[in-house]
Structure 1
Amino acid sequence: MPMTDLPFPEAVTGRHFQKLSDGRVECRVCPRLCKIHDGQRGLCFVRGAQNGEIVLTTYGRSSGFCIDPVEKKPLNHFLPGTPILSFGTAGCNLTCKFCQNWDISKARQFDKLQDQASPEMIARAAEQVGARSVAFTYNDPVIFLEYATDVADACHARGIKTVAVTAGYITPEARPDFFGKMDAANVDLKAFTEGFYKKLCTAELEPVLETLKYLKHETDVWFEITTLLIPGQNDSDDELKAMTGWIMENLGGDVPIHFSAFHPDYKMRDIHRTPAETLSRARSIARAAGIRFVYTGNVHDAEGGSTWCPHCDALLIERDWYELGRWNLTPEGDCGSCGTHIPGVFEARPGTWGRQRRPVHLGTAA
C-alpha cells in the first residue's frame, strides 16, 4: 500500500499489541483491550490499527506547553517549589463525565494539536526555561506511551526528571515499560466503588488499585494520589473510610493523598461545587485511618495545603495555594524540629517558582 493511502500516514508503530486470528489487532496498553480492524481507532481515538499493527497517531504532537509549579500536578513531596514543563496530546482511555480537561481529553479534532514537537525539542525547551521536570498531563499519558517514554529518555539525558499524571488505567504488560521511565507520578483514584467507575468512567476500579500496588511494591517511582470529591457521588464517610483503609493496608501511611474540589463541568454541570467542609472531613477521615500526609486542593486552605510533621506536628512546608512560605526541612529531608524523616524527593532548598503559570512555545522557549 503506498504511504499516501495509509489511514494513518504519520503514525508511529506502537508497542503492546497482539494480532488476532480474525484479522483484528488487540491493543494491550490499557485494560480496555480494544480489538480493531485496519483503519479503525480504539476508544482513546489516538491508537489505531494499520497493516496489522497498533499505531500511535499523535506522536510528536501536543495540545500545548506550559510551565507550572510542580504542586499543581499535584505533587507536594517532589522537588517543592520548582517549575515543571507540562504538556499533553489529545484523547483519553476513560470517558469521565466530570472531566475537568474535557476540551483536550475528549478532543476528536487533531487541529487542536500544535506542530511537531520531537522528544529532543521538549527536553531542550525544558532545559532552556529552567524546568526541573517535565509532566505528561492534561490527558492521560498512558495512551501516548511511546511518545511519553521517548520524551522521558531525552529528558533524562539532560538531567531532567519526568512526571506522569495518570488515572493508572494500564495493563500489567505495559506498566514496566511506562513507569520504568517515570521519576514521579500522581495517580487519580477517582472513587472506591466499581459502580462509580462503570457509571461515570465506563471503566473498572481494580486495574487502578493494581497499578497503585505495583508502584508501591515494584518500583522506585515517587507517587501521590488524588481523588476529586464529587458531592453525592464518592464523598460519603463509608466510601472514604473504605478507600483510606485500603490505602493503609496495601500502600502504607506515607503515600500522600490529595482531596480536590469538583467544579461543574463537561456532562456534570448540574452538581454543585464541592464544599470546603467536605474536603476537611475527608482529610480528617484519612488522618484517622493513619495516613500521615493528607492535602486539600482547589480551595484556599492553608492548613490542608501545608505539610506537617507526623511526629511533632511542626509546620514543615507552608503553602498558600502554590506559593511556598516557611520551610522547616533539613537538607536530608528531615523535620527541622524533631528529626523525623519525611518521605519524598527533597532538596536542600525549596524552589522559588511560586504560583506562576506561563505558556511556552517551543520555538521561542529560550
Structure 2
Amino acid sequence: MAKKKWQEHGYPAQLAEQLEDKVVRCHLSPRNCKIRPGQHGFCMVRANRDGELVSLNYGRSVHATEETIETEAVFHYEPGARILSMGNIGCMLNCDYCHNWKTSQARFVEDKDVFHYTPEEVVDIAERHGIQVISWTYNDPVVWHEFVTETARLAKSRGIINLYKSAFFISPEAVEELIPVIDIFSVSIKSMDPKYYRKITKGWIEPVLEATEQVYRAGRHVEVSTLMVTDLSDSEQNARDMARFVGECLGPEVPTHFVRFHPDYKMTDTIRTPVERLEHARRVSLDMGLEHVYLGNVYDTESTNTWCRGCGLLQITRYGLNAQLVGVTPDGRCSGCGLDAHIKRVPNPVAAQATLDELPAHETYDLAHFDWHGDIRAVHVQVENTSDRPQEVFHRRVRRDNPNTGWTRIALEPQESYRFISAESFNDEIGVVVAVPNGCTSSLHQVFDRAHFPTTEAAAGTQNADITPLPLYVRPTR
C-alpha cells in the first residue's frame, strides 16, 4: 500500500523503550507494542523509524471545529460553553461500531481529510474566536499524545481550559503526563463486560477503569459515559455495573451519561437504541445512589436537564447540544438553596455572541439552507475565506414560531478555513441558514450524533436517511 502524504514525516515519540536490534517498545497504551524497524504499532500512527519511535500524526488533524461543551458528554463544567474540538488520526482501539472509522482507522484516512496545525495555531484559533476551552476528542486523543501535551501546556499558560474526551485505553505513565495539563476528563467506558470489551473494541476494560480512577484521585473534573449499543450493551445489568463502579470507585457526584447508538462501520444491520432503554438505565442508576445521570444523543426528554438534589429547583435546561443556566450561581451553587450543584464554572466567561437583526447591506450573500430531518438535528458548517482580505460570514437559526432569531457573525482572516456546529436548540426550530459573501465558500456536513465527525458533505446524500452516515463501510472480499 502506497504511503500517504500525512504519513511521511515522523515526530519523536514519548514513552519509548529501546530494545536490542533497533526494536522499540511503545508504552503509551496497555498494549505496550513491540515494534521492529519499518513497522507500526496497533494504532498505525506510531512507528519505528531506524530504531526510533516516532509519531506519524503529530499536528495532523481533522478540521478544527467550534462546538459546545455538551458535545463531549460534559454537563457539569461551564454548561453551554463554546469549545474548539481537535480530533486526530488513528486509534488504540478498533470498535466494531466506530462512528469515526474513516479517521480512527489509519488505513482508511484520505489526505483530503487531513489538516495540519502547530500548537501555536491551535491556541491562536481559540483566542481569535473567543473560545475558552480546547477539547481533545473524536477518534481518540491517546494516540496524539505528544501534540496534545505540548499544545495543552501552551493553552494552559494562556488561560485556556483543556478537555480530554477519550475511551482512555491508556497507560498509567501517559496519564501522569496528562494530569498537569488537562482540566476535564470525559471518559467513554464502552461497557462493563470484559468479554464485550475484548470482542467489540479489541481492547480490555481493566486499564480503562484504573486510568479513570487515577484522574479522579488526582482531583480533576471527571464525567463518564457509556454507549448503549442496541441489544449488546443496553441492558439493565450494564447500567447497574456502571452505577456501581461510579458510586464505589469514583463518587456518586460524578456525572454519568447513557448515550444512544446509531448504526455505523461494521454494525449497520441494527437500529438506534430505543430511548426507553436509556431512560430505564437512568432510573436504575439514580435508584442506586448516583446524583447526576443523563441521556445523550436524545431530544425531547427532561432526562438531559439538571435539578437541585436538595430543593428540586431546575438549574440547567438542555436541548440537544445546547444548554442554558437558569438556577446556578457564578460559583456553581444552587441559586435557590445554596447547595453545591457540583458544577464548575470558568472564571470570567466570555459573553454570549451578539447577533444582528439584518445582514450588512454593503455585501451580497449566497444563502445555504439546511433543514433538520428525522434524527439529524445538527450540522457542521465549514466556511473558507478564499480572498486576501478579512471577511465575515453569518448564520442564524430558523424557527417556526419565532422567526427573528438574529444573525451570528464569524470573522475570518484572509485564507482562513473555519468549521462550526449548528445544533437544534428549540423544539420549534426548522433548520439553519448560512450567509456567505463573495470571496468565501461553504459546505455542510450532517452530524449523526455528538461523537460523530462527518467527512462527507450533506449534498452527497445518504443511503439510509438519518440512520447511518456516508460513507458506508464495505467489507473486504476474499
Scaled to the shorter chain, the TM-score interval is: over 0.9
**How far is 1:115 from its partner?**
4.2
Structure 2 vs 1, CA of residues 349 and 118 (structure 1 numbering), >3 Å: closer, same or farther?
closer
Question: What SS does the aligned partner of 2:171 have?
Answer: coil
Is 1:132 paired with 2:132?
yes
2:95 maps to which residue? Answer: 96
Q: Which moved more, 1:321-330 or 1:72-81?
A: 321-330
The aligned counterpart of 2:123 is 123
Partner of 2:70: 71
User: What is the CA-CA distance between 1:176 and the residue it aligns to?
Assistant: 0.7
Measured against aligned partners, the alpha-carbon deviations of 1:252-276 in whole angstroms (never above 9, x if no partner) come to 1011011110011100111211011
One-letter amino acid of the structure 2 residue matched with residue 207 of structure 1: P
- What is the DSSP-based 3-state SS (H/G/I as helix, E as strand, rest coil) of the residue aligned with 2:242? helix
Structure-1 separation of matches of 2:163 and 2:383: 18
Residue 59 of structure 1 pairs with residue 67 of structure 2: no
Cα distance in 2 between the residues matched to 1:326 and 1:119: 32
| 1:101–1:139 Cα contact (<8 Å) kept | yes
Aligned partner of 1:15 in structure 2 is 14
CA RMSD, Structure 1 to Structure 2 (Å) = 2.3
Q: Aligned equivalents of 1:357 and 1:333: distance in 2?
A: 31
The whole-number CA distance in structure 2 between the counterparts of 1:306 and 1:352 is 21
Pick closer, same or farther for the CA change 1:137–1:351 going to 2, 3 Å.
Answer: farther
* Aligned residues of 2:67 and 2:84 also touching (Cα < 8 A): yes
1:298 paired residue number: 297
Report what 1:308 is aligned to.
Answer: 307
Q: Which moved more, 1:118-127 or 1:310-319?
A: 310-319
Instruction: Give the distance between the partners of 1:357 and 1:269, measured in 2 at CA.
Output: 23
Output the CA distance in 1 between the equivalents of 2:110 and 2:265.
20
3-state secondary structure, aligned to 1:173: helix
The residue that corresponds to 1:35 in the other structure is 34
Quote the offset at 1:301 in angstroms: 3.7
> In the aligned structure 1, how far is the partner of 2:144 from the partner of 2:266?
25
Q: Is the CA contact (8 Å cut-off) linking 2:72 and 2:186 kept in structure 1?
A: yes
Which structure: greater strand fraction? 2
- The amino acid of 1:322's aligned partner reads L
Quick one: which of 416, 427, 437 aligns to 1:364? 416
Tell me the TM-score normalised to structure 2 length: 0.71
1:171–1:63 CA distance, 2 compared to 1 (3 A):
same
Contact (CA 8 Å) 1:48, 1:54: kept in 2 or not? yes
Aligned to 2:270: 271
How far has the Cα of 1:212 moved from its partner?
1.1
CA–CA separation in structure 1 for the residues paired with 2:106 and 2:173 = 27
SS at match of 2:317: strand
Partner of 2:363: none
Among all aligned residue pairs of Structure 1 and Structure 2, give the percentage whose two residues are the same amino acid: 35
Quick one: which amino acid aligns to residue 180 of structure 1?
P
Moved more, 356-365 or 84-93: 356-365
Report the 3-state secondary structure (helix = DSSP H, G, I; strand = E; otherwise coil) of the residue aligned with 1:144.
helix
SS state at 2:172 partner: coil
User: CA offset at residue 323 of structure 1?
Assistant: 2.5
Say whether 1:254 aligns with 2:253: yes
Structure 1's unaligned 5+ residue stretches are 1-7
Partners of 1:350 and 1:309 in 2: how far apart? Answer: 25
Change (3 A) 1:202 1:115: closer
Aligned 8 A contact 2:60 2:88 in 1: yes
Residue 344 of structure 1, CA deviation: 3.1
Structure 1 distance, partners of 2:115, 2:315, is 43
When residues 253 and 352 of structure 1 are mapped into structure 2, their CA distance, relative to the original with a 3 A threshold, is farther
Partner of 2:212: 212
Give CA-to-partner distance per residue, 1:113-139, whole Å, 9 cap, x none.
Answer: 534310000100110011111111111
Report the Cα distance in structure 2 between the residues aligned to 1:255 and 1:112, rounded to whole angstroms: 39
Larger radius of gyration: 2
Deviation at 1:353, TM superposition (A): 6.8
Unaligned runs of 5+ in 2: 1-6, 355-377, 385-412, 419-478
User: For residue 179 of structure 2, what is the aligned residue in structure 1?
Assistant: 179
Indicate yes or no: 2:135 matched with 1:83.
no
What's the offset of the Cα at 1:40?
Answer: 0.8
Quote the Cα distance in structure 2 between the aligned partners of 1:208 and 1:344. Answer: 24
Q: What is the one-letter code of the residue matched to 1:213?
A: E
**Alpha carbons of structure 1 residues 243 and 324: separation in structure 2 relative to 1, 3 Å:** closer
More helix by share: 1
The alignment covers a number of residue pairs equal to 359
Q: For residues 38 and 112 of structure 1, what CA distance do their matches in structure 2 show? A: 28
Rounded to whole Å, the distance in 1 between the matches of 2:351 and 2:97 is: 33
Q: Deviations over 1:183-240 (max 9, x none)?
A: 11210000001111000011100000001110111x2321211111012211221222
CA contact (8 A) 2:164 2:182 kept: yes
Matches of 1:257 and 1:223 in 2, distance apart?
9
Q: Which has the higher contact order (CA 8 A, sep 6+)?
A: 1
Judge conservation of contact 1:67–1:357 (CA < 8 Å) in 2: no
Q: 1:142 maps to what in 2?
A: 142
CA-to-partner distance for each residue in 1:294-347, whole Å, 9 max, x for gaps?
110111144111111122222110111123345101122111112110113225
**TM-score after normalising by structure 1:** 0.92
CA–CA separation in structure 1 for the residues paired with 2:145 and 2:327: 38
Q: Distance in 2 between matches of 1:209 and 1:326?
A: 31
Match of 1:4 in 2: none
